[in-house]
Structure 1
Amino acid sequence: MPPDDPDELLHAAYTAIGKAVADFSTVLVGYVSDLDACDREYAENMLMPLLRVTRAKANRLLDRASDLSARPLVLKALVEGRVDEGKALMILDLLRNLTLVHAAIAEEALLAHASVNNYTATRRYAIRYIHRLDPTAADRRHEEKRKARLVEKVPLEDGMALLRLLMTAHDAALAFDHVDRIARSLPKDDRTLDQKRSDVAKDLLLGRDTPTPAGRTTVYLTMPITAALGLTNDPGMLGGYGPLPPRIAREIAADGVWKRILTDPVTGMAEEISDVYRPSAKQRELINARYPTCTAIGCNQPAQRCDLDHCRPFDGTNTTIKNLRPKCRHHHRMKTHSNWKCRNLSDGTHEWTTPRGKTYATEPVPIAEPAPF
């Protein structure tokens, strides 16, 4: 690869950010450890004037440095550019509720995955891995985070503010679907869909009248029947979110409408779905089960809000499972109107080629664990 290759230069500059974070954290740990024991408790007060940061920022820097120093493998991966800061901190957070033995096992597996995948894919994989390794840890984490639910107002510039609601993933999915369906039912005007969603949510919170959305509020949850019956502790997969603790998934499934999906025992991939709707709807459900998000690199738009794109141009006969893939409207346009190219491989992988000729692949997501034989 020539030294002035723009992709390599950009990648090197990005990985240097992680190395700088790791180097700073190492120096900071040494700086604090040299203080007298009675002064370490107030270390943030030394950082505030020295680095010209707030107390909250100083405490975040101290916490990050302490967490990284406690996990040498994560710190080493950050220095070497195998993970960035976001993935490193996410892995540290997910390891907190594990035993020392389980944390050591998970740390290596998560770093290996993170080195070749983006943040969201790594987090999804990590949660599933930890669910299998220690199902009780997933419940502990969920209960810990559920207790922190809140409503928060964040002031922004130019007379605006952000209203944040922290709630369970299932409740958030139901709430979003409710708002989204109302917004989509409104007459066409000069507002974008996001603006309509914001206006609908505001009206609902303020107790104003809103249109009644057609149909029922829907979320998609996929889990093995053995887990639904409590025989195994496989996590459920909430559409547009990722893994849920088995207990939570069972509670949601108990009130839902069930459909049977057959999976390949070797790969765990969805192969067939119960015959409930006409074939076109059935195709969409199966494709969404295999590919729960847009199949563009790093895009996490839920499949149910994507277009079903013909990877090979429509010829009257190729509206098939093998040729259709979910793509959000942005990436559907990118594929159609730019120099990006994509193709489907025989193993279900969706391969993208950038305008500079580099290739990347997105893979179908197993919805069940492969059979152990």
Structure 2
Amino acid sequence: MALPVEIAEIVGEAREWEGRGWFPPGPQLAVCLSGGKESLKDLTDGELLEVAAARRQTSWAQARELAAIAELAGRRAVGGSEDDPRVLTSHESVTDEVAAALTVTGNAAATLVRLAERLAVELPGTREALEAGRIDLAKARVICDVTESLPADAAERLETAALEKAPAQTSGQLRRRITRMARHLAPEAVEERKRDAVRGRRLEVWDNSSGTANLALCDLPLEDAHAVYNKISAAARGLKHEGDARSLGILRVELAPRLLSGAELPDAARALLVEEPGAAEELSAPQVDDDVAVPALAAMVERRLAHVRARVSLDALPVAVRRAAQRIHDELAERRDAVCQGDDEEHGRPGYRPPAALRREVEERHGTCVFPSCNQPSRRCDLDHTISWRPGPTCRCNLAPLCRRHHRLKQSPGWSLFQIWPGLLIWTTPAGAWYIVRPDRT
């Protein structure tokens, strides 16, 4: 194909892509973009960036498409039967005609027809900017959306102001800027449009190709939407403060379905604190007199705490480990208490001091102080209530021998001790380490 002289002068070997960033869109730029080197891998970085000229060409092509749709809509409107309930209106008919021709949904076609008609009649400056490649289709849509339903003089002024800076702005920046201007130029029209949108508020759900789904509340009043988001965010931050290792985004998503399902916010937050992120292991403990019970529980604890360590940063580790140990303790509480209570009417023994038989049982279960490195015989230790007496019971599931030194250590800042099953204890340290202490006998 022979190139026009003025184009041939700039597509020589030395200047294959140089300068095309300024070349106006249209048939001549299409020729330039189609000629030259056969592979993009042969271009320099600078030359690759010059291919951005194709984006202006795209805007030009989209403007031509919208102009054709507007012309078609205008033709179909002439002589149409708008008042006959037996047939579609001309606008509905041309929308379906466009949908079939472009293989798009009816909603997408309706959006294209509306945009085409507005660019052709009400927003000529935006149409020209799109055709010249100064703005892209996304920015044209923004201008069309924000000027919708505004008085003609306000829409004209807003379009002029928008096009002054639109080429140098992203579509998001453009939308924020001209939305503020619209509220100033036509506050009553903006409020009426807002009321119309709120009347059409809805809950939508759609499936994703990944096998997940999106759930969205659409066209809520601004203050309601932000209030809901802020409330969920505050609860998520509270969970983070409590040591939850998950991100704020994940915690928001974990909270929202629970709230929509009817849970009260404190209950939803409490349920998340009880959960261990990513742990699907069921804490179903065997009977306490089964030889497998304590080893199985100890192995479970080790896996759960190792999982926490792998997920959090070092500075968050102490709180996260302590919180995870507390969750394990709480998850086992009902089964632990039921097994320990047996046929007794009440769980535990009355009074602070354990009876002699209970003391002997606890001392036989642990021959030494339950601190990992201590060898002090249990008969010389305090019989400590792991959870302080009242609310903690005087019972074999809440008693363990501690020498006086490690009794004091347990109460020191940063240290914690949990008895998750009779005789099975977890120490957590200020550095975020943990130690599992098993009974000598069950």
CA contact (8 A) 1:183 1:196 kept: yes
> In 2, Cα distance between the equivalents of 1:208 and 1:136?
39
Give the match for residue 202 of structure 1.
257
CA contact (8 A) 2:18 2:47 kept: no
User: Closer, same or farther in 2 for the Cα pair 1:17/1:136, shift >3 Å?
Assistant: same
Quick one: which of 201, 220, 230 aligns to 1:177? 230
By how many angstroms is 1:53 displaced?
Answer: 2.8
Quick one: which of 56, 60, 77 aligns to 2:107? 56
Tell whether 2:98 aligns with 1:32. Answer: no
Quick one: which of 213, 217, 225 aligns to 1:165? 217
State the AA in 2 paired with 1:97: S
By how many angstroms is 1:88 displaced?
Answer: 1.1
> In 2, Cα distance between the equivalents of 1:131 and 1:7?
41
Tell whether 2:148 aligns with 1:107. Answer: no
By how many angstroms is 1:141 displaced?
Answer: 2.3
What do residues 74-94 of structure 1 show as CA deviations (whole Å, max 9, x unaligned)? 101111222221221121222
Structure 1 stretches lacking a partner, 5+ long? 215-373
> In 1, Cα distance between the equivalents of 2:188 and 2:264?
43
By how many angstroms is 1:8 displaced?
Answer: 4.2
> In 2, Cα distance between the equivalents of 1:10 and 1:178?
46
What do residues 7-61 of structure 1 show as CA deviations (whole Å, max 9, x unaligned)? 7425323333322211101122223334463384412333344333333333222
State the AA in 2 paired with 1:14: R
State percent identity of aligned pairs. 26
What do residues 320-363 of structure 1 show as CA deviations (whole Å, max 9, x unaligned)? xxxxxxxxxxxxxxxxxxxxxxxxxxxxxxxxxxxxxxxxxxxx
By how many angstroms is 1:112 displaced?
Answer: 0.9
By how many angstroms is 1:133 displaced?
Answer: 1.9
| Worse-superposed segment, 197-206 or 16-25 | 16-25
> In 2, Cα distance between the equivalents of 1:7 and 1:172?
43
> In 2, Cα distance between the equivalents of 1:77 and 1:145?
29
Give the match for residue 21 of structure 1.
62
CA contact (8 A) 2:73 2:94 kept: yes
Give the match for residue 403 of structure 2.
none
CA contact (8 A) 1:77 1:83 kept: yes
> In 1, Cα distance between the equivalents of 2:161 and 2:209?
42
Q: Name the structure where strand makes up a greater proportion of residues.
A: 1
How do 1:61-80 and structure 2 match up within 5 A? 61-70=112-121, 71-80=123-132
> In 1, Cα distance between the equivalents of 2:100 and 2:180?
43
CA contact (8 A) 2:18 2:50 kept: no
CA contact (8 A) 1:185 1:213 kept: no
Other structure's SS at 2:168 match: coil
> In 1, Cα distance between the equivalents of 2:248 and 2:157?
44
Q: Name the structure where helix makes up a greater proportion of residues.
A: 2
> In 2, Cα distance between the equivalents of 1:7 and 1:175?
45
> In 2, Cα distance between the equivalents of 1:18 and 1:146?
33
Tell whether 2:145 aligns with 1:93. Answer: yes
> In 2, Cα distance between the equivalents of 1:13 and 1:211?
54
State the AA in 2 paired with 1:37: G
Other structure's SS at 2:133 match: coil
State the AA in 2 paired with 1:19: W
Give the match for residue 147 of structure 1.
199
User: Closer, same or farther in 2 for the Cα pair 1:32/1:97, shift >3 Å?
Assistant: closer
State the AA in 2 paired with 1:20: A
By how many angstroms is 1:176 displaced?
Answer: 1.2
> In 2, Cα distance between the equivalents of 1:202 and 1:79?
46
> In 2, Cα distance between the equivalents of 1:28 and 1:161?
34
Aligned residues: 214
> In 2, Cα distance between the equivalents of 1:200 and 1:213?
6
Structure 2 stretches lacking a partner, 5+ long? 1-16, 20-43, 82-89, 270-442
Other structure's SS at 2:215 match: strand
How do 1:142-291 and structure 2 match up within 5 A? 142-166=194-218, 167-186=220-239, 188=243, 191-211=246-266
User: Closer, same or farther in 2 for the Cα pair 1:6/1:184, shift >3 Å?
Assistant: farther
> In 1, Cα distance between the equivalents of 2:267 and 2:55?
48
TM-score (norm. length: structure 1): 0.51
By how many angstroms is 1:69 displaced?
Answer: 1.2
Which segments of structure 1 move beyond 6 Å, counting only runs of 4 or more? Answer: none
Tell whether 2:179 aligns with 1:127. Answer: yes
Greater length-normalized contact order (CA 8 Å, ≥ 6 residues apart): 1
